[in-house]
Amino acid sequence: MKIIEAMKKIKDLQLKAEDLRGKAAKYCADLDYETPVYPDQKKQVSEWIQAHTDILKEVLDLRVSIQRTNIVTDVTIELDGKQVTKTIAEWIHRRRDLAKSDYDMWSKLGDRALREGNMQSSTGTVTMVKIRRYFDPGTRDVMLELYRTEPSKIDATLEVVNAVTNLIEE
């Protein structure tokens, strides 16, 4: 089974589990003057509960298999002209929030609305004032572009990887 197949199966199983919870909630009790919907309603509710338990176990097994696969499967993505290799799990974390955090850091670097020019001191002396930058604006611009595009490159690559990578099941 491929990773994407497992992910889709999990969604289907979750819908089945939700349906079973709904049925159990609807038919778990009635008033004594009502006619039960099922011939042995207690048995039916019990079967739904067991089926729900079995489905959740299958979901858990699939999730763990996906995690196991994500931890050991290396994926290479080209970033800034370099081949960068990380596990699927590492790329997921980069995609989730770490690339954005890198972007946010580099985007904080700027002139802070400071102005260059002539300034008059309290004694009346005019002095030429220049901004000192403790970063390289060129590097900042390159890094901003790198971290801005990284998530979409990760998405594109992992879509393919999820479709072709076999799930590691134990």
pLDDT, residue 121, reads 85
Same domain, 79 and 100: yes
Same domain, 54 and 81: no
Residue 49 token pair: 């509960």
User: How far is 49 from 43, CA to CA, in rounded Å?
Assistant: 10
Same domain, 144 and 91: yes
Same domain, 158 and 81: yes
Same domain, 14 and 67: yes
Q: For residue 170, is pLDDT > 90?
A: no
Same domain, 110 and 132: yes
pLDDT, residue 155, reads 98
Q: 150 lies in which domain range? A: 74-164
Backbone angles phi and psi of 81, in degrees to 5:
75, 5
Same domain, 91 and 13: no
169 occurs within a structural domain: no
User: Residue 23: which of 39, 1, 6, 44 has the closest Cα?
Assistant: 44
Same domain, 52 and 32: yes
Same domain, 82 and 142: yes
Question: What mean pLDDT is predicted for residues 7-24?
Answer: 98
Mean pLDDT of the chain: 97
170 occurs within a structural domain: no
Q: Domain end: 39, 72, 105, which one? A: 72
Q: How confident is the model at residue 89 (pLDDT cuts 50, 70, 90)?
A: very high
Please state, for a pLDDT cut of 70, what percent of the chain lies above it. 100
Same domain, 99 and 44: no
Look at the chain and report how many structural domains it folds into.
2
Q: For residue 37, is pLDDT > 90?
A: yes
- Check residue 109 and report its DSSP letter: -
User: Which residue intervals of 73-109 are DSSP H helices?
Assistant: 88-93, 99-107
41 occurs within a structural domain: yes
Residue 110 gets the label, from left (phi > 0), alpha (psi -120 to 50) or beta, of beta
Q: Domain end: 72, 99, 124, which one? A: 72
